[in-house]
């Protein structure tokens, strides 16, 4: 896989954040694939001695069970069976904290009060500590439209004092890095949807036309095919993309960037929204 181009040199005005964060951000700017963002995130964790990285995203924080993906920098197979236990699942950092709140949180055996979580959860944390995941720093994340929740955690084999020292030195960097990495990762992840699901160029064109609200007869005429052939093509598209109706097709077209998000689209004549405290709201042409 081709590597991203070399990071640009920062101006003097940009050089007032930690150097580690500067290097991370300029590298992320050059990313073109989600895996490149992930690799840089893992590299950052290793640099600050927190090599165990978890990245979990759900399609909706109103329904956290709808997991979009999970990435880990380590072999996490031992967790699979454990998380089928509802009691363990209930006390996961993502379920108990990140799906509700925005504050970064210290995690792991070193920072969990046994009086606040179930005994089964403590058992899991002890198992994690035996594998070098003793303490960590987790950052809750959001993408608001649609309302998605995510969590990036950086963990390592540290006691409480050592972990607090790492957070004091690098907490700001890790927080900002997680937010930027999440945004850029999801941007690439969305764009890679067609590749993951083997959506052809013709199916992408169909997705865009349906998303625009065109009816079958018009689409078939524009494509030069019969309505029957169009519906067969649409059925194949919906099966590949796991869609069930035209509304979901339109939503997918917007979420993957094929169509503008109507919330931020004002038609041919674009306006600038100006909000002035105590002076009302105005719009004016750009």
Give the per-residue pLDDT at 65. 42
Q: Check if 12-191 and 198-285 are the same fold.
A: no
pLDDT tens, residue by residue, 85-132: 888 888 888 888 988 899 999 999 999 999 888 888 999 999 999 999
Spans of all domains in the chain: 12-191, 198-285
pTM score above 0.95 = no
pLDDT < 50 regions, the chain: 61-65, 145
How many alpha carbons lie under 13 Å from residue 92 in its C-beta half-sphere?
22
Which architecture characterizes domain 12-191 according to CATH? Answer: 2-Layer Sandwich (3.30)
CATH topology of domain 198-285: Arc Repressor Mutant, subunit A (1.10.10)
């Amino acid at each position: 896989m081709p590597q991203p181009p070399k990071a640009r040199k920062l101006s003097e005005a940009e050089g007032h954040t930690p150097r580690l964060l500067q290097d991370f951000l300029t590298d992320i700017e050059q990313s073109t694939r989600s895996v490149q963002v992930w690799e840089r995130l893992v590299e950052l964790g290793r640099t600050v001695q927190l090599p165990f990285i978890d990245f979990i995203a759900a399609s909706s924080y109103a329904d956290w069970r709808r997991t979009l993906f999970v990435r880990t920098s380590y072999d996490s197979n031992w967790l699979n069976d454990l998380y089928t236990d509802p009691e363990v699942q209930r006390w996961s950092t993502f379920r108990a904290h990140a799906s509700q709140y925005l504050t970064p949180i210290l995690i792991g055996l070193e920072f969990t009060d046994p009086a606040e979580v179930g005994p089964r959860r403590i058992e899991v944390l002890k198992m994690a500590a035996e594998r070098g995941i003793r303490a960590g720093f987790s950052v809750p994340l959001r993408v608001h439209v649609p309302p998605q929740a995510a969590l990036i955690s950086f963990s390592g084999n540290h006691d409480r004092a050592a972990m607090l020292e790492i957070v004091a030195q690098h907490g700001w960097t890790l927080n900002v890095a997680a937010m930027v990495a999440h945004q850029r990762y999801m941007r690439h992840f969305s764009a890679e949807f067609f590749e993951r699901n083997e959506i052809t160029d013709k199916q992408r064109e169909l997705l865009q036309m349906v998303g625009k609200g065109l009816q079958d007869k018009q689409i078939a005429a524009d494509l030069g095919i019969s309505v029957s052939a169009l519906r067969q093509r649409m059925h194949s598209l919906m099966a590949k993309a796991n869609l069930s109706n035209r509304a979901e097709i339109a939503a997918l077209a917007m979420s993957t960037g094929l169509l503008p998000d109507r919330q931020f689209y004002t038609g041919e004549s674009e306006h600038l929204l100006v909000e002035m405290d105590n002076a009302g709201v105005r719009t004016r042409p750009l």
